[in-house]
Amino acid sequence: MVRLKVSIRIVCLAALALAPFYLSDYHLSLLGRYLALAVLALGLALIWGRAGILSLGQGVFFGLGGYALAMHLKLVSLGPGELPDFMQWSGLDHLPWWWHAFQRPGLAIVAMLLLPALAAAGLAWLLFHRRVGGVYFALITQALALAFTTLLISQQPYTGGFNGLTGFTTFLGFSLLGAGVQRDLYWVTVVILTAAFLFSSWLFRTKFGKVLLAIRDGENRVRFLGYNAVPYKVAAFALSGLFAGIAGGLFALQVGVISPAMLGVVPSIEMVVWVAVGGRESLFGAVLGTLLVNLGKDWISSAMPNLWLFGMGLLFILVVMVFPQGLCGLAEFWPRILLRFHHPIEPEQKGGSGLHVASAAYAKSCEEGRGAE
C-alpha cells in the first residue's frame, strides 16, 4: 500500500515535470497557475485537515503575498521617474513612502514571505489565545476577507482599486513576455510545490504534526496532558499563511495580474472546496482537488457559464454529505472494505471510546485478580 502510494506520487511528479514537452502553451500556463494555487491548498490541508482549523479567509494571505510581489513587478516595469498608471489617474504626484521598499526585488520577496505569515500569526494569536475557535474563527476570517477586499478596492490611489495591479514586464532582469519564460516559471512552480509538499509531509511525521492531530481530535485532552495548544495552532496557521503568500506571488508572476476579485469571500471559500474535494486529510488530495476543481471550473464556465455556480454548489453538498474525506478518502475506503471481507476486524481492534476500552480492561483485570485469590 505504502509503496503503491509512493510510486503514484513519483509518476505524478514526473508527469508534471515533463508537462512542457507535451502540453500546448495555453494549457501549460493554466496548469502552472493551478499548481501555484495548489501550494495554498497544501497550507489549507495543514490547518484544516490536520489541526481542524477552518479558515474562510485564505484569500487575504494569498493577496498579501501576491500584492507584495506585484508591487515590485509594477515598479520595475516603469521608466525612471514614472508613476504607476493608476496613481497618475488618481492625481498622486509622488510615490507613497511604503511603495519605495518594493523597488528592491529582495525586499519584495521577503515581504511576500513575511507579510502573510506575520499577519496570519497575529490574527491566530489574537483569537486562539482567547480560545476563540471553530465556527467563530471561520466566520471572523470570512469577515476579514470581506474587509480586506473592500479596503483594497476603496484605496484606489494606492492599490489600483478594483482592477488591481497588472502590466508587468520584467522580473530579476528577465523579460516576462518571452515564450521560454513561461516554461521556466512553470518549472519553478513545480519545484516550489514539491518542496512545500515534502516539507508538509515531513512536518506531519514530526511531534509537531502529531500534536496538531491531537488538537484536532480533542483540544481539551491535549491541554489536560500539559500541552499549550496555542503556539501549535498559531505556528500552523502562520505556515498556512506563508504557503498562501507564496502561492499568491507565483500566481501574480504567472498570470500577470492580481486583483481583489481573486481574493474575496467567494474565492476564499472556493479554496476550501478544492481541499474538500481532494480530501482534507491528505496532502496529495489537496493538490489533486485543486487541479480537478479548477480544470472543471475552466471547462464548465467556458462551455456553460450559468452552470458553474450550480455545479459548485452541488459539489459542496455532495462532498460534505456523501464523501467527507474527499477523493483520497474514497480511494482509501474501497480497498479497506474489500480487505475486510478477507480479514474480519476483531471487535477489540475497533476500539470505541477510550473510556469504554479502559473500563473493559479494568473489569478484566479485576476478574483476573479475583481468580488469583
Partner 1 sequence: MGESAVIAGQAFNGISVASILLLAALGLALSFGVMNVINMAHGEMLMVGGYLSYLTCKFVHGPFAFLVALLIAFAGASLLGGLLEVSVIRWLYGRPLDTLLATWGVSLILQQGARSIFGPIGVEVTAPEWLNGSISIEHGAFAGMDLPYVRLFIILLAVVVLSLVALFIARTRWGLLLRAVHQDREMSEALGVNTSRVDLMVFALGTGVAGLAGSALALIAPVTPTVGQSYIVYAFLVVILGGLGSLLGAALASLLIGLFSAGAQIFMGVSLADVLLLVMVVLFIQFRPKGIVVRHSRALGEA
Q: Which residues bind partner 1 (CB under 8 A)?
A: 54, 123, 126-127, 130-132, 134-136, 138-140, 142-144, 146-147, 150-151, 153-154, 219-220, 265, 269, 272-273, 276, 306, 309-310, 312-317, 319-321, 324
Q: Which C-beta is closer to partner 1: that of 39 or that of 269?
A: 269
Q: Minimal distance in Å, beta carbon 321 to partner 1?
A: 6
Please report how close the Cβ of residue 131 comes to partner 1 at its closest, in angstroms: 6
- Shortest reach from residue 135's CB to partner 1, in Å: 5
- Which is closer to partner 1, CB of 172 or CB of 317? 317
Here the cell at position 19 is 508537462
In the complex, what is the shortest distance from the CB of residue 340 to partner 1, in angstroms, rounded to a whole number? 24
| CB of 122 or CB of 167, closer to partner 1 | 122
Q: How far is the CB of 137 from partner 1 (least distance, A)?
A: 10
- CB closer to partner 1 out of 126 and 358: 126
What are phi and psi for residue 258, nearest 5 degrees? -140, 130
Compare residues 82 and 217 and give the one whose CB is closer to partner 1: 217
